């Protein structure tokens, strides 16, 4: 295959379908809140790639139920996943979903094979 140079970010290449726009809007709404964006960043950058809820709550001046709500929004959007281990819940980023957000606005710097 011949490499092709893409002219611009996917959002500028062609109109999104209704379903694509609806799916992406859920992701964008989830990260549009500063607390959720920080939580996503904290989880993604945590050593070992996952964070216990106990590692997250003390960072914010918010109640545990409020932190839980924000984590639920991220989980429902598919940006993070979780697993209960005894008393604690551990969270990790779902890389392919986070990458989908990044790809939406990224302009290719080099030629890519299509």
Question: Where are the chain's structural domains?
Answer: 3-10+33-113
CA distance 29 to 24: 9
Per the DSSP assignment, residues forming a β-bridge with 89 are 84
- pLDDT value of residue 43: 97
Q: Is 12 exposed, middle or buried (0-12, 13-18, 19+ CB in 10 A)?
A: exposed
CA angle at 39 for the pair 86 and 49, rounded to the nearest 5°: 60
Residue 16 has pLDDT above 70, yes or no: yes
Element (H, E) at 88: strand 88-93
pLDDT tens digits along 33-78:
999 999 999 999 999 999 999 999 989 999 999 999 999 999 999 9
* Strands (DSSP E) found in 6-62: 50-52
103 pLDDT band, cuts 50/70/90, is: confident
CATH architecture classification, 3-10+33-113: Orthogonal Bundle (1.10)
- pLDDT value of residue 110: 43
CA distance 49 to 98: 14
Side-chain-side CA neighbours of 7 within 13 Å: the count stands at 4
- How many percent of the chain have pLDDT more than 70? 85
Residue 2 has pLDDT above 70, yes or no: no
102 pLDDT band, cuts 50/70/90, is: confident
Q: How many other C-beta atoms are found inside a 10 Å radius of the C-beta of residue 36?
A: 20
Read off the tokens for 62: 């918010």
Residue 11 has pLDDT above 80, yes or no: no
């Amino acid at each position: 295959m011949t490499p092709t140079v893409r002219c611009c970010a996917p959002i500028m290449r062609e109109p999104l379908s209704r379903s694509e726009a609806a799916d992406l809007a859920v992701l964008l709404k989830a990260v549009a809140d500063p607390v959720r964006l920080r939580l996503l960043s904290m989880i993604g950058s945590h050593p070992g790639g996952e964070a216990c809820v106990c590692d997250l709550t003390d960072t914010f001046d918010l109640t545990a139920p409020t932190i839980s709500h924000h984590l639920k929004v991220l989980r429902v959007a598919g940006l993070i996943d979780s697993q209960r281990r005894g008393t604690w819940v551990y969270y990790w980023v779902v890389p392919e979903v986070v990458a989908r957000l990044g790809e939406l606005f990224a302009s290719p710097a080099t030629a890519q094979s299509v």
